[in-house]
């Protein structure tokens, strides 16, 4: 049997750290409100010239290096993003060009904050089917480019960055299962109003709009349910999970999921305090941090989960 193993991880966040205090000089907000409601203390924002593909390149290079392979060993690139550099070419093709590996397939995948989970699920199918041996999976976002910096209800929430993994074919178990869901009836709760048909005539700016409380409530319920679904599918108990690596949107949502797992917060990889919500990048960035600081070890069982616009949500249970 062929499995997909995480052979290496990488992450990148811009050097430009913006604190809550910095934002309070621009919009009517304050550090304590942001920390109490979200757990966010600061975020990293792209500087001039930094884009989704350039941040992806930094994260991907580290993941490839950690996997002990060359970029030329890759068979496929999947880049999960909602904020590609351009409409065309895709950010994944721009990344492929930067990595200098022409001819391998590369595509973008859009599932908002669940994008990385969707992307490793797709990559896992390629590997299990014997169609690829080394796949670069990236989650990367330039959220600051679609945030209204005068809207305090959204601008304090987001950050920029990229996280990457190399998934590799292996004889021993890696990804045990992935679980994907979507419900387009909630498209009015978290959205950017402009799109391809009306870009040229847009009278609404392309900024994130969110009905925060409704997203919050749905997220807590959906993520609680998907924890049960994932454990049941693998005949596992809550106590079998070594690390929870959640999407980093709000500390209160993460705490609710940890509670559902009867898990101490010490077993949760948290980056929301310093990264804020980096959408598709948040899970691989957290994974990379846990791996590089030595908390996550080979053989540990990881539960990753995330939800975002769509709504789209998903989970992955992985032996590292």
Which of 113, 134, 155, 250 is flagged as catalytic? 113
Query: Is residue 113 among the annotated active site residues?
Result: yes
Instruction: Report d(CA 282, CA 201) in Å as an integer.
Output: 33
29 scored as a contact of ligand UT7 (CB under 6 A)? yes
Binding mask 223-252 for ligand UT7 (x = CB under 6 A): --------------------------xx--
Per 3-state DSSP, what percentage of the chain is helix, strand, and coil (rounded to 5)?
Answer: 40, 25, 35
Which of 215, 258, 268, 280 binds ligand UT7 (CB under 6 A)? It is 215
Which of 55, 93, 109, 219 binds ligand UT7 (CB under 6 A)? It is 219
Query: Is residue 93 among the annotated active site residues?
Result: no
Other Cβ atoms within 10 Å of 295 Cβ, number? 14
Which of 31, 35, 125, 212 binds ligand UT7 (CB under 6 A)? It is 212
Q: Which two tokens stand for residue 138?
A: 């990236």
Residues 6+ apart with CB under 8 A from 68: 7, 8
181 scored as a contact of ligand UT7 (CB under 6 A)? no
Query: Is residue 131 among the annotated active site residues?
Result: no
Q: Which two tokens stand for residue 198?
A: 């009306």
DSSP 149: T
Which of 146, 156, 272, 276 binds ligand UT7 (CB under 6 A)? It is 156
- Among residues 214 and 240, whose Cβ is nearest to ligand UT7? 214
- Among residues 105 and 212, whose Cβ is nearest to ligand UT7? 212
- Among residues 104 and 226, whose Cβ is nearest to ligand UT7? 226
143 scored as a contact of ligand UT7 (CB under 6 A)? no
Binding mask 53-82 for ligand UT7 (x = CB under 6 A): ------------------------------
Question: Number of residues in contact with ligand UT7, rule: CB under 6 A?
Answer: 20
- Among residues 57 and 158, whose Cβ is nearest to ligand UT7? 158
Instruction: Report d(CA 193, CA 207) in Å as an integer.
Output: 7
Q: Which two tokens stand for residue 11?
A: 């992450």
> Which position has the token pair 């014997």?
130
The neighbouring-strand residues paired with 317 are: 177, 303
Please report how close the Cβ of residue 177 comes to ligand UT7 at its closest, in angstroms.
23
312 scored as a contact of ligand UT7 (CB under 6 A)? no
Other Cβ atoms within 10 Å of 195 Cβ, number? 10
- Among residues 113 and 269, whose Cβ is nearest to ligand UT7? 113
Q: Are 100 and 44 in contact (CB under 8 A)?
A: no
Other Cβ atoms within 10 Å of 116 Cβ, number? 34
Residues 6+ apart with CB under 8 A from 206: 146, 192, 193, 194
List C-alpha distances in Å: 258 to 113, 171, 176, 220, 255.
19, 31, 20, 11, 5
Residue 288: closest CA among 46, 8, 4, 5: 8
- Among residues 41 and 301, whose Cβ is nearest to ligand UT7? 41
191 scored as a contact of ligand UT7 (CB under 6 A)? no
Which of 142, 179, 247, 275 is flagged as catalytic? 247
213 scored as a contact of ligand UT7 (CB under 6 A)? yes
Which of 45, 59, 93, 113 binds ligand UT7 (CB under 6 A)? It is 113
Instruction: Report d(CA 87, CA 196) in Å as an integer.
Output: 9
**Beta strand pairing status for 17-19 and 42-44?**
antiparallel
Binding residues for ligand UT7, rule: CB under 6 A, are 29, 33-34, 37-38, 113, 152-153, 156, 212-213, 215-216, 219, 249-250, 253, 277, 307-308
| Residues labelled as active-site residues | 113, 247, 277
């Amino acid at each position: 049997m062929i499995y997909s193993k995480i052979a290496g991880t990488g992450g990148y966040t811009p050097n430009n750290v913006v604190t809550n205090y910095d934002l309070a000089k621009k919009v009517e907000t304050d550090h304590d409100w942001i920390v109490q409601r979200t757990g966010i203390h600061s975020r990293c924002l792209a500087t001039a010239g930094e884009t989704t593909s350039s941040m992806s390149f930094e994260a991907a290079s580290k993941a490839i290096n950690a996997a002990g392979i060359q970029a030329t060993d890759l068979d496929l690139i999947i880049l999960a993003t909602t904020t590609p550099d351009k409409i065309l070419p895709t950010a994944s093709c721009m990344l492929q060009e930067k990595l200098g590996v022409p001819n391998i397939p590369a595509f973008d995948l859009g599932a908002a904050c669940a994008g990385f989970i969707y992307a490793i699920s797709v990559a896992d199918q390629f590997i299990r089917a014997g169609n690829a041996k080394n796949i670069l999976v990236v989650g990367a976002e330039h959220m600051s480019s679609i945030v209204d910096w005068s809207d305090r209800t959204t601008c304090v929430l987001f950050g920029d960055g990229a996280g990457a993994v190399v998934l590799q074919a292996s004889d021993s178990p890696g990804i045990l299962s992935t679980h994907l869901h979507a419900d387009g009836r909630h498209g009015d709760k978290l959205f950017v109003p402009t799109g391809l048909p009306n870009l040229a005539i847009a009278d609404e700016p392309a900024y994130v709009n969110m009905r925060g409380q409704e997203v919050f409530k749905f997220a807590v319920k959906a993520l609680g349910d998907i924890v049960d679904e994932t454990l049941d599918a693998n005949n596992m108990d809550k106590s079998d999970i070594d690390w929870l690596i959640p999407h980093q949107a709000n500390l209160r949502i993460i705490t609710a999921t940890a509670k559902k797992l009867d898990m101490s917060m010490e077993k949760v990889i948290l980056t929301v305090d310093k990264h804020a919500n980096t959408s598709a990048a948040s899970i691989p960035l957290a994974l990379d941090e846990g791996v590089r600081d030595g908390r996550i070890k080979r053989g540990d069982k990881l539960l990753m989960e995330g939800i975002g616009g769509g709504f789209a949500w998903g989970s992955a249970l992985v032996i590292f």
